[in-house]
Structure 1
Amino acid sequence: MGSPIKTTTEPQRFQPLQLQANLTKAFMLWQLFNARMAQASAKTRPASSAGDMAFPNALKNWFINLAYHPARIIQHNQELLQKQFSLWQRLNMRLLGFPGISLSDDESNKDRRFKDPAWKEGPLSEAVMQTYLNFAGYWKALAELDTRLPEQESKKAQFFLNNLLDALAPNNFPHTNPQVWQAIRDTNGDNLVKGMENLLNDFQDGELRIRMTDMQAFELGRDIATTPGQVVFRNELMELIQYTPTTGTVRKTPLLIVPPWINKYYILDLREQNSFVKWAVEQGHTVFMISWINPGSEQRDLTFDEYVEKGTLTAMDMIEQATGEREVNMVGYCLGGTLSGITLAWLAAKGDGRVKSATFFTTLLDFSEPGEIGVFLDDAQVTSIEERMDKNGGYLEGKNMGAAFNMLRANDLIWSFFVNLYLLGKDPIPFDLLYWNSDSTRMPAAMHSFYLRNMYLNNRLREPGGITVNGAAIDLSKVTTPVYFVSTQDDHIAPWKTTYKGAQLFSGPVRFVLGQSGHIAGIVNPAAKDKYGHWTNGTLATDPDQWLKSATPSKQSWWHDWDKWVSAYAGEQTEAREPGAGKLPAMCPAPGTYVKVKAG
């Protein structure tokens, strides 16, 4: 996604004295920032671990491995020299006054970092841009050479190299970014002062926390997470929210939504116009939502077993008390879907068939190809995470997880904000999705270690009896519950071809749907807008590519298709159920209290 940040000032009349004063002030603020950085660095000098050195070591081994490809290196060197020589020729012709000579190639037009016309208004800035693209392309071509390194190490090297190249892009430096020079002219240097003030404000507790949005612009229950409802149950792990009906009658079978605990639930209830919760209520579902606690040191020993026992299983018990209905339809999102799948297998082992249908949003059950996040997960790095959790009081800070995910899309989620906030001196604007993304949650040590080792490292969930939860061997092949899998085409967190493998683990009827866009936008795709379409196929082919080849495209949101599917399991109409009207009294209005606890 791009950076939704506004300009703080309009172009001003050039004033040399004001420019000089602003440059002096910006320089002084920069010196103050460096002093604070040095002070923070002196206070915190953590010992490096094997996990911390994984990426530099992988890059070093990759560089040594290049010795096995002398012919290809010579070839790429020649190609780079040819490109640079051609660029030098065109630059000289441009400087001599020849008209209509472009210094950049077609690739530059596709790169959003250099979309501003300022990059091509002057020959020097355009030459700098194209030189960077030439060298970046050269190193990326070398990174794609066949390697004798283990696959995981090779991926780490490529990832680290690509992030280095992204960091060294000329748009990230004030002296090589023509947009910054234009802003200096337009504001007499106010942008540099504002940028340095932003930098100092964002440097908190010895680290830089880049603001993606205005964190003061939203309040839960007022601007986002506004669907009316009541918390009807609370334990040490979760609050259970029951939403207020908006229809005279409702479907008999309640709907339980299990969100991921790595983020807060209100991604499915951002604003009225894009709230899946509000829409599901309008379709006549009695909707219940789990809101996980944001754990601290006192929850360090929470186990994965407890997330099943005191989370999904308890939620179903409480829904029965609230509505009188033992059966539910279940929806799990991402990690919440993984938990839902394990819950289904646990119920199958106990002969308990109270889940009539299960829906999985972008969910991994088979972790054989976990996507780009896999570069952060090997034994050494998981051990490093466990050590960090132990030293940090028994939990992993949400900012650590957020930083890893942001690095997967560094240009969009790090550098675009760095440039706008600190070089162009702009203020972040209110943006509900980025507010949610910044509202991080912590991970309790015991549960998180179990999850990382058994799912990502050893991929045991796909194996019958590979893990045991609450005394039951988990076997997804024993699940005969009808399931609906929706994945998204551009998902880099839960790749759709890997989620497809997970869908094949069940023994009951499976409907697999592929939506357009990515992990968030492809799911939060309101039926009223139909921004992204989807593909369906009544047959679950062995190969995902074959499934897609014979799938039927639709321009509508998958929400329409899901509502038709789940209606078969929703039962007949019954009188609308108000929160607190059953055996569970209303405790407090939605969104509740757990979701309001901030990490850090």
Structure 2
Amino acid sequence: MKGPLDITPDGLALEALAMQQKLSAGLRTLPEVEEVHFGASHKQEVWRDGKTVLYRFVGEKAPTAKVPLMIVYALVNRPYMVDLQDDRSLVKGLLARGEDVYIIDWGYPDRSDRFLDLEDYIERFIDGAVDHLRQAHDVDAINLLGVCQGGTFTLCYSALHADKVKNLITMVTPVDFHTPDNMLSHWTREMDVDLFVDTLGNVPADMMNACYLMLKPFRLNLQKYVGLIDILDDKQAIENFLRMEKWIFDSPDLAGEAFRQFIKQFYQGNGFINGGIDIGGRPVDLSDVDMPVLNIYAEQDHLVPPNASRALRDLAGTNDYTELSFKGGHIGIYVSSRAQREVPTAIHEWLSKRSR
């Protein structure tokens, strides 16, 4: 006889047996799981300023693209998400299509970096890396691909240095920070960021991770670990799970002064919309972004809602604006099987049409 939730004694017995079998399989599988590593593509250091390093990815064949593509990742996580593993790598997909791909690695800030500000990250590190590539490749301008907060940085940089950016690609990049569904923005708008930074100095990575996990507390703190039982008999699936966990918790501390400015100018001031973004004494106006722009957003993104990204359409000064929606979430846009099929191809084809 079924109960009000369609639960039967036989069904419970079968479910308990299935769980017992999974747990037994785990006892055999887990000892075989090795330490997980990240990175599908070989890379070489080509430029450095302090802890910030510019790497060039090396593919199986020489690049055919004449203009280099530099990826700018966010400060809050490590950039190897775009090259996580052999079958989940945006970078590998771009290399296979002939792109010449570079990436900035911000490193791990410590107390000596407490007073790094947005001018350092945009006008010192990004501009220094861009100038290196312009000289190394003998080109006037390069292609930029900005990811999440890194996309916000590349928008600022492109507005200030439009002559150095040939094409701009933004992925899951916040532009309007005050959309109603932006939970991070609601949390930070009334925050006393001066007291916060003056007290802590650099922002601890564990504190930032806790904030992100609490955006979806049940799913990110409980459900995924319960679901781990279902893959205990699959060594590769467990290693994939552990690799993702390693990335989530391998987070750098954030330089205090840059954090202060970013919260004030973007999350609180919504500076792209309202004005007031100041990078080293220079105002940022997105109408100065006059190069071709490809804006890619994720339809199920809980960190950067689609409307937060789509706002770029009405603000950028370019006459060549393309928007691409991806059926997935903030992380799925890099690591899902759909992403491997769709995203590198879309980026490469868009760049190829503008390579002349």
Please give the range of the TM-score, normalised by the shorter of the 2 chains. 0.7 to 0.9
Between the aligned residues of both structures, percent identity stands at 23
Matched, 1:373 2:184: yes
**CA deviation digits over 1:571-593, x for unaligned, max 9?**
5xxxxxxxxxxxxxxxxxxxxxx
Aligned to 1:300: 114
Cα 1:186/1:566, change in 2 over 3 Å: closer
Matched, 1:446 2:257: yes
Cα 1:532/1:471, change in 2 over 3 Å: closer
Distance in 2 (alpha carbons) for counterparts of 1:522 and 1:255: 18
1:429 maps to a residue whose letter is I
Aligned to 2:172: 362
Aligned to 1:406: 213
1:452 maps to a residue whose letter is I
1:292-441 matched pairs, under 5 angstroms: 292-348=106-162, 353-369=163-179, 371-379=182-190, 382-383=191-192, 386-392=194-200, 394-416=201-223, 429-430=238-239, 431=241, 432-441=243-252
| 2:143 alignment partner, SS class | strand
Distance in 1 (alpha carbons) for counterparts of 2:285 and 2:20: 64
Q: 1:216 offset after TM fit, Å?
A: 7.4
Q: 1:341 offset after TM fit, Å?
A: 0.2
Distance in 1 (alpha carbons) for counterparts of 2:125 and 2:52: 7
1:522 maps to a residue whose letter is I
| 1:284 alignment partner, SS class | coil
Q: 1:247 offset after TM fit, Å?
A: 2.6
Cα 1:447/1:249, change in 2 over 3 Å: closer
Aligned to 1:266: 80
- Extract structure 1 runs of 4+ deviating beyond 4 A: 417-422, 425-428
Q: 1:391 offset after TM fit, Å?
A: 3.6
Distance in 2 (alpha carbons) for counterparts of 1:378 and 1:398: 20
Contact 2:88/2:334 (8 A) holds in 1? no
Cα 1:417/1:513, change in 2 over 3 Å: closer
How many pairs were matched up?
339
Contact 1:297/1:395 (8 A) holds in 2? yes
User: Which protein is bigger by CA-based radius of gyration?
Assistant: 1
| 1:277 alignment partner, SS class | helix
| 1:270 alignment partner, SS class | strand
1:577-592 matched pairs, under 5 angstroms: none
Contact 1:254/1:325 (8 A) holds in 2? no
Q: 1:429 offset after TM fit, Å?
A: 3.4
One of 224, 229, 234 as aligned partner of 2:38:
224
| 2:84 alignment partner, SS class | coil
**CA deviation digits over 1:515-570, x for unaligned, max 9?**
10111103434xxx5x269xxxxxxxxxxxxxxxxxxxxxx624322221111233
Alpha-carbon RMSD: 3.2
Q: 1:121 offset after TM fit, Å?
A: 3.6
Contact 1:462/1:502 (8 A) holds in 2? no
Distance in 2 (alpha carbons) for counterparts of 1:522 and 1:248: 26
**CA deviation digits over 1:476-496, x for unaligned, max 9?**
012211100010111111111
| 1:240 alignment partner, SS class | strand
Cα 1:488/1:229, change in 2 over 3 Å: same
1:433 maps to a residue whose letter is M
Distance in 2 (alpha carbons) for counterparts of 1:186 and 1:251: 54
**CA deviation digits over 1:405-451, x for unaligned, max 9?**
111222221123665899xx999932222221121121111000110
Distance in 2 (alpha carbons) for counterparts of 1:372 and 1:388: 19
Cα 1:215/1:373, change in 2 over 3 Å: farther
Contact 1:316/1:326 (8 A) holds in 2? no
| 2:271 alignment partner, SS class | coil
Q: 1:215 offset after TM fit, Å?
A: 11
Contact 2:46/2:56 (8 A) holds in 1? yes
Distance in 2 (alpha carbons) for counterparts of 1:565 and 1:421: 38
| 1:305 alignment partner, SS class | helix
1:24-43 matched pairs, under 5 angstroms: none
Matched, 1:286 2:286: no
Aligned to 1:507: 317
Contact 2:74/2:149 (8 A) holds in 1? yes
Give the structure, 1 or 2, with the largest relative contact order (CA under 8 Å, sep 6 or more).
Answer: 2
Cα 1:271/1:523, change in 2 over 3 Å: closer
Contact 2:95/2:101 (8 A) holds in 1? yes
Cα 1:390/1:419, change in 2 over 3 Å: farther
Aligned to 1:244: 58
> Tell me, which stretches of 5 or more residues in structure 2 are unaligned?
none
Cα 1:453/1:122, change in 2 over 3 Å: farther
Contact 1:489/1:518 (8 A) holds in 2? yes
**CA deviation digits over 1:487-516, x for unaligned, max 9?**
011111111122111232101121001110
Cα 1:333/1:104, change in 2 over 3 Å: same
> Tell me, which stretches of 5 or more residues in structure 1 are unaligned?
1-98, 106-119, 127-177, 195-213, 534-555, 572-600
**CA deviation digits over 1:370-410, x for unaligned, max 9?**
6222342132xx32x65444444x21111111111111222
Cα 1:458/1:419, change in 2 over 3 Å: same
Cα 1:340/1:186, change in 2 over 3 Å: closer
2:355 maps to a residue whose letter is A
Cα 1:458/1:216, change in 2 over 3 Å: farther
Distance in 1 (alpha carbons) for counterparts of 2:285 and 2:308: 18
| 1:290 alignment partner, SS class | strand
Matched, 1:455 2:240: no
| 2:274 alignment partner, SS class | coil
Distance in 1 (alpha carbons) for counterparts of 2:91 and 2:346: 16
Cα 1:182/1:273, change in 2 over 3 Å: closer
- So what's the TM-score if we normalise by structure 2? 0.85
Distance in 2 (alpha carbons) for counterparts of 1:245 and 1:569: 22
1:99-110 matched pairs, under 5 angstroms: 99=1, 101-104=2-5
Moved more, 314-323 or 354-363: 314-323
Contact 2:94/2:344 (8 A) holds in 1? no
One of 346, 349, 356 as aligned partner of 1:564:
349
Distance in 2 (alpha carbons) for counterparts of 1:499 and 1:563: 21
